[in-house]
Structure 1
Amino acid sequence: MEALYLLCSILSTFFTSLTLSLLLPFRFLLRWRCSSRAAVNGAEAVTFYEGNVWHERRRPVHHSFRYAVRYALIELDHAPPDHLSAEEARRVAETNGPVFLLTIPPSVGYVQNPLSLYYCYDLEGSTRRLRKCIAEVTNTPWGERASFVFNPNSDLVAKPLHVSPFMDMLGNWSIKANAPSDNLFVAISVQHPKLGDYFTATLTARRVSLDVDQALFFWLMPHKVAVWIYWHALKLWWKSVPFIRHPKYLNPAYREEALMRDQKLHCCQAIEWDKDKHLHVEGSDSGFVAARDGRVRWFAWRDARWPWS
């Protein structure tokens, strides 16, 4: 069934992207003829970044790769995308300032975002301070999305999502990020009870001035990310790294277990699992972990839209 979904996605993406790519010149011509003030104002709410993603697996075999990426940093109050709204993000992160979303926009009918980040700021007088981040992780090819709040200075989160058929659900994600300016970085490492600190992923990027149309800047960017994911999954299979089935086939309670592991990780006293009481993302299950120091960790799971974003 998973292979069938993947095949359908590849075929659908190929023909849709080919058709829309052929129509791009007409789109540029129409935009040039009918440019508007609204389009200019919308562009002011977006900052563009260009950089690299680096992955390194150290056990049970060594495997690493790097690929170039392009991201958009969107101010959600002015340009709400198909993700959390700015108000929802503020409620989840318990902040009162602006919210920015770092993501790869759709390109010719396709979206692929293994990781999107919300930067949630607090206003302190005339200044703003990055207080919390919300990670939005989407797996491939299952089309699931998990979101959680973390401290950007440094945080440890129990793994909430099956992101790779070559990684089990055990272990924690050590994650940190800076406040985007001229440069940005995100670093995630996996701390496993048996394999130790065996996997690291980083994103480093710099702000760039856009001197071409946005559609050209991001043309086939999501497709390139997908190709890298599947190509290196094939390499791991070739290196005989054990294949692990999605836990939903063997353990339907894996999400609740992730909450329990995060509870133990932060010496928490209680877990709440109430979709009606708390902020609920449409089509999702939401879970909360309450810590002794009053902190609340918010998790939400839902299906990503098709094609998976």
Structure 2
Amino acid sequence: MSAPADGARPRTPALYSCAVHHVRRTPTRYALRHRTYLWLVDLDHLPVLPHALRPLGRFRARDHFTGRAPDLRAALDDFLAEHGIDLDGGQVVMLAHARSLGHVFNPLTLYWCHDRDGRPRCVVAEVHNTYGGRHAYLLHADANGTATADKAFYVSPFNPVDGRYHMRLPLPGERLRLSVRLDRPGSAPFTATVHGRRREASVPALLRLALRHPWSTLAVSAAIRFHGIRLYLRGLPVQPRPGHRSSESTT
């Protein structure tokens, strides 16, 4: 697991104004782009907004992992314990959408995990699909934040549950630069990138972003469905969806 992209430890909480790009190369070439914003937070020191603004940013354990843990830190620690990892109270930094105006949808939530001495231990990539399913990948990234994982979760209705992800997930600094590529036999059908710039998690910054991207997480899930319909109308075949709601894997 790497240090932040600019070499400094991240200051939390922070906001990132982001551009998200998806490119599908086969069997039909298709690209989309949308803008949103993400939070970078310390799981032990989650931000609490002024009362009137709390509907714009809430972090709840029920929105992640099994949804049954008392808080987010406990949810992450439970997941790690299942894989024999104890951070001994070390810092965990999460990049995610917050629940906003009663809605949340996180296609990808990232957790950078450190031990008590501040050494990187692992990255957890938690994926949500639009069918209500969740899946967490335990990743052991190299010094550049690069990791690989066998695909084990149904995300797009146009890709079966096979192939291998190649991810570059450096811990964000002043810049956010993430990429995920799905390779399948004979092709590289899908690449996603997220690029963003850090902003202080101040009330004015949050209000500007919330006004610029109202109902941000609802817009993300609606856009996924809209583009899925367009691909279907272009004749892209739909792959059967297995009966799978939540699980986790190790890489």
- Global fold match (TM > 0.5): yes
Residue 104 of structure 1 aligns with which residue?
97
Counterparts of 1:1-309 in structure 2, within 5 Å, are 45-79=12-46, 81-82=60-61, 83=64, 85-90=72-77, 92=80, 93-96=85-88, 97-124=90-117, 128-140=118-130, 142-152=131-141, 153-194=145-186, 196-209=187-200, 210-212=202-204, 214=206, 217-218=209-210, 219-248=214-243, 285=247, 297=250
- SS of corresponding position for 1:178: coil
Q: Find the structure with the greater CA-based Rg.
A: 1
Q: Which runs of 5+ in 2 are unaligned?
A: 1-10, 47-58, 66-71
Contact kept, 8 Å, 2:17 with 2:209, in 1: the verdict is no
- SS of corresponding position for 1:247: coil
By relative contact order (CA 8 Å, sep 6+), the higher-ranking structure is 2
Judged with a 3 Å threshold, the aligned counterparts in structure 2 of structure 1 residues 94 and 175 are, in CA distance, closer, same or farther, namely farther
Residue by residue over 1:58-105, the C-alpha shift from the partner in whole angstroms, topping out at 9 and shown as x without a partner, is: 000110111111001111112263236335535615434200111111
Contact kept, 8 Å, 1:170 with 1:193, in 2: the verdict is no
Q: Which runs of 5+ in 1 are unaligned?
A: 1-43, 249-254, 256-282, 288-296, 299-309
Moved over 6 A (4+): none
How many Å apart are 1:217 and its aligned residue? 3.2
Q: Which has the higher helix share?
A: 1
Q: CA RMSD in A?
A: 2.4
Partners of 1:284 and 1:201 lie apart in 2 by: 22
Contact kept, 8 Å, 2:163 with 2:183, in 1: the verdict is yes
Contact kept, 8 Å, 1:89 with 1:120, in 2: the verdict is no
Partners of 2:22 and 2:138 lie apart in 1 by: 23
Q: TM-score under structure 1 normalisation?
A: 0.61
Judged with a 3 Å threshold, the aligned counterparts in structure 2 of structure 1 residues 215 and 113 are, in CA distance, closer, same or farther, namely farther
Equivalent pairs, count = 208
- SS of corresponding position for 1:212: helix
